[in-house]
Amino acid sequence: MEFVISHLVKSYGSKQVLKDVDFVFGEGRIYGLLGRNGSGKTTFFNCINNDIDINSGEFYFRGNDGGKVPVMPEDIGYLVSTPTVPEFMTGREFLKFFIEVHEEITPDRTIDEYFDYMMVPEDDRDRLLKDYSHGTKNKMQMLLNIIASPKLMLLDEPLTSLDVIIAEEMKNVIRNQKQGRITIFSTHLLDVAVDLCDEIVLLHNGRLEPIDKSNLGDDAFKEKIIAALRDQDDA
């Protein structure tokens, strides 16, 4: 399975944020979407998630037979940097409600086994979500996507503002979840992209440009990327 983007264009008035974007993402890989703050990473994700309309172009899955398969809402998991959770529920109530509402989902673990997998402390599980730390709220958001098991995971700077321990735990979860799906992880931090991702894609002046990760150990090559990010138009 591949996720294909063909001639995608998105403008806000006279400002063209995405300019004829063409790219193919492959299954079982984590792609680091690298770009400065304001470069259009969130706009790109919002287009794919159908939160905003595109001006032109298309995107779809391509099966092994080469045929086009439309992207359905249930095919996408979207993790944002600032999680929104129903603060009047406990963590356990939230997971139970999510599973009950999505009748198409067949959980392969118990709720406590999901909590264990995400390393949510036992004394947090029956507390109100409003009392959760930012990092634990992010874990709950990730856990919903693990339960739903979408084909395409869009991770929009999910490690922002997390402490070192939770950030490392989240990285391991993302790595463990990459098989059988396509994962696109946006970040403005080069070191995070190099550490976590199998491939790196630069969002530069409204287009996606693949970066040879094998060259990233070279300081001169890193400087070239940083210079490109510094000089790009703000979106």
Query: What does the domain layout of the chain look like in residue ranges?
Result: 2-85+154-231
Q: Is the pLDDT of residue 8 over 60?
A: yes
Residue 89, phi then psi, degrees to nearest 5: -100, 155
Query: Using CA atoms, how far apart are residues 175 and 147, in angstroms rounded to an integer?
Result: 16
CB atoms within 10 A of CB 106: 9
Query: How far apart, in whole angstroms, are the C-alpha atoms of residue 70 and residue 62?
Result: 9
Please give the torsion angle defined by the CA atoms of residues 11, 14, 17 and 21, in that order, rounded to the nearest 10 degrees: 60
The beta-carbon contacts of 215-223 under 8 Å, at least 24 apart in sequence, are 216/190, 222/190
Query: Confidence class of residue 22 from pLDDT cuts 50, 70 and 90?
Result: very high
**pLDDT range class, residue 93, cuts 50, 70, 90:** very high
Question: pLDDT-derived band of residue 163, with 50, 70 and 90 as boundaries?
Answer: confident
Stretch 106-120: mean pLDDT, rounded?
93
pLDDT in tens, 198-224: 999 999 888 998 887 777 667 777 776
The proportion of the chain whose per-residue pLDDT surpasses 70, expressed as a percent, equals 94
As a whole number of angstroms, the distance between CA 94 and CA 105 comes to 15
**Averaged over 119-145, what is the pLDDT?**
93
**Sequence-separated (6 or more) residues with CB below 8 Å from residue 62:** 1, 2, 3, 4, 24, 68, 69
Q: pLDDT category, 234, cuts 50, 70, 90?
A: very low
Residue 30 has pLDDT above 90, yes or no: yes
Q: What is the CATH number of domain 2-85+154-231?
A: 3.40.50.300
113 vs 231, which has greater pLDDT? Answer: 113
Helix locations, 29-148, DSSP H: 41-48, 91-101, 111-117, 134-148
The rounded mean pLDDT for the chain is 89
Cα 204 to Cα 50: distance, rounded to the nearest angstrom:
22
For the whole model, what pTM was predicted?
A: 0.88
